[in-house]
Amino acid sequence: MLHAKIVDIKEKKISLSDAEKFISSNSYGASIFFTGNVRDQNNDKNVVGITYDSHDALVIKSFQEIYNEAEEKLNIDEKSVFIEHAKGYLNLGETSIIIGVACKHRDEAYLLSRYIIEEIKKRSPIWKKEHYLNEETSWLKGNPIVNEKN
């Protein structure tokens, strides 16, 4: 089971309780929750907030692909996964991403949680614009997406 969504911060904040509700099941003995939060320092600059931008459809497509690959690459067929990423301006300490995973055993849950966040970093079209204490802003450089199709 997969829940995948981009959430506009103007409409709602993403919440751990939503993740907990979605993945909760008596079939799974292990759950892991990962959150990414806005921190106050980056590259020696004082960060006060981050604007997140997203190509929503392509991001959801990438979340689905990553979820499906877990079966082939990690051999984890029974799982429940909740992924929400925020979009818009977030203040310090606010949560930009929640990944909740539930599997039968802890080894699978740890592996899956780590796999999902690392693949999102590589493949999901999400961008960050940092806002600094001196009122300057900067888009973070990021990594080019590898073009897979011809």
Give contact residues for other proteins (rule: CB under 8 A): 36, 52-55, 57-59, 61, 85, 96-97, 117, 120-121, 123-128, 139-145, 147-150
Q: Which is nearer to other proteins, 10 or 141 (CB)?
A: 141
Is the distance from CB of 100 to CB of 23 less than 8 angstroms? yes
81 Cβ contact list (under 8 Å, min separation 6): 1, 2, 3, 4, 23, 67, 70, 99, 100, 101, 102, 112, 116
What per-residue string of b and e applies to 55-85 under the rule 16 or more CB within 10 Å gives b? eeeebbebbeebbeebeeeeebeebbbbbbb
Closest distance to other proteins from the beta carbon of 57 (Å): 5
Q: Which is nearer to other proteins, 40 or 107 (CB)?
A: 40
User: How near is the Cβ of 26 to other proteins at its closest, in Å?
Assistant: 31
Using the minimum distance from each CB to other proteins, give the nearer residue, 134 or 144: 144
Q: Are 119 and 66 in contact (CB under 8 A)?
A: yes
Residue closer to other proteins by CB (options 95, 104) is 95
Minimum Å distance from CB 129 to other proteins? 8
Q: How far is the CB of 15 from other proteins (least distance, A)?
A: 18
